[in-house]
Each structure stands twice: as C-alpha cells, then as structure tokens.
C-alpha cells in the first residue's frame, strides 16, 4: 500500500474507509454524529461484545450501533436521499431513541460523516457496507475521500449540512414532484 499524506487532511481509499470512518470515527462519537448519504443500508459492523464480524452472527447493523450511541446521549442526525434498504426500514420501525433523527431529501448526493464537530469524512462512500469497506476486498466499492480535523473545513461542511437539515432549500426546490413533504421523516 502506498504511503498516504498525513496531516489535517488525509486521503483515504477503498478498505481504509472502514478503519478511519467507522472504527476511528462513527463508533467513537461522544457528543454528535451528522451523516449525509445518498444510500442508507443496514451495513453490518462488529458487535461490541466480540469486536469481530467474521461470522454473520457476531455482527450488528449500523442502525443498532447508531441507536446505542443515541441512547448514550450522542445526537445522531442522518440525512439521506433514497428509501433505506428493506432491512434498514424494518429496524427503523422499532422504537428509536429520541436523539436519533433521520430525514430524507431526494436531491442529496453528498456523503459526509462528521464526528463531534472535530473530525470529518468527505468523499464518495455511501452509508453502506460496500461503500465504507465493511465488505470483503472483492465485494467493496472503489471509494476515495478525505478524513480531516481542519476546523475551517468542518465548519463549512457543518453549515451546509445544517442548511439542508433545516430545509433552507425546500421552498424553492425544483423537485417537489418527488418530495411533496419537505424533509420527510421515514414512514415507520
């Protein structure tokens, strides 16, 4: 593997997404977790008890992990574009902690994971196993992105995320035929 540049902005590619975005980022959130993704699927992650997902029985979906973070007081906001996968929708039909909020905007294509407003991923990967490297080497997508601790970049992305989250663009949106209810919550 070639050496990647280090510093405030670090290039991550392919399978590196899993370690950096999931293990070093998402799963270690203490205060807040903002996620934007076009595609939202029930990606399997190691269960906290085993730390392994070698066997399917040792893994839990990302929804279970996000709910656990929310139960610990982490504010989790997910903004996505499409209808979540069937397994994800089934999980979302159960009781969710109040701190876990999910909204849908069909125009969204941006991919971001912001952890505690201190570190952030920006790149091509959706919130899926193939996108974030949770699948085997021959089954995951080729993805590129940056991992950063740059306060300026995090603030700028956070402002854009908040504007979308709050519906700033909804009134003048040209896609009302596919989004009759601005920032609709998933039908549970």
Q: What is the CATH number of domain 9-165?
A: 3.30.870.10
pTM: 0.86
Contact between residue 188 and residue 93 where contact means Cβ atoms under 8 Å apart: yes
Q: Which of 34-48, 51-65, 70-84 ranks highest by mean pLDDT?
A: 70-84
* Range list of H helices, 18-150: 62-71, 86-92
Any long-range contacts for 61-66 (C-beta under 8 Å, 24+ apart)? 61/87, 61/88, 61/91, 62/26, 62/127, 63/88, 63/91, 63/92, 64/91, 65/26, 65/27, 66/33, 66/100
For 164, the 3-state DSSP assignment is helix
Q: How confident is the model at residue 53 (pLDDT cuts 50, 70, 90)?
A: very low
Residue 6 pLDDT > 90 = no
Average pLDDT, the chain: 85
């Amino acid at each position: 593997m070639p050496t990647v540049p280090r510093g405030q902005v670090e290039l991550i590619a392919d399978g590196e997404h899993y370690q950096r975005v999931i293990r070093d980022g998402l799963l270690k959130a203490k205060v807040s977790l903002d996620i934007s993704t076009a595609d939202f699927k029930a990606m399997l992650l190691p269960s906290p008890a085993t730390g392994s997902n070698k066997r399917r029985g040792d893994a839990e979906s990302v929804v279970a992990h996000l709910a656990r973070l929310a139960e610990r007081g982490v504010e989790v906001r997910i903004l996505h574009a499409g209808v979540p996968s069937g397994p994800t929708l089934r999980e979302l039909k159960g009781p969710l902690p109040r701190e876990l909020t999910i909204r849908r905007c069909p125009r969204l294509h941006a991919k971001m994971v912001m952890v505690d407003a201190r570190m952030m991923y920006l790149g091509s990967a959706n919130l899926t196993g193939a996108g974030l490297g949770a699948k085997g080497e021959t089954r995951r997508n080729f993805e590129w992105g940056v991992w950063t601790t740059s306060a300026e970049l995090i603030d700028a992305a956070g402002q854009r995320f908040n504007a979308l989250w709050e519906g700033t663009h909804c009134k003048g949106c040209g896609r009302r035929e596919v989004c009759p209810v601005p920032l609709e919550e998933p039908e549970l």
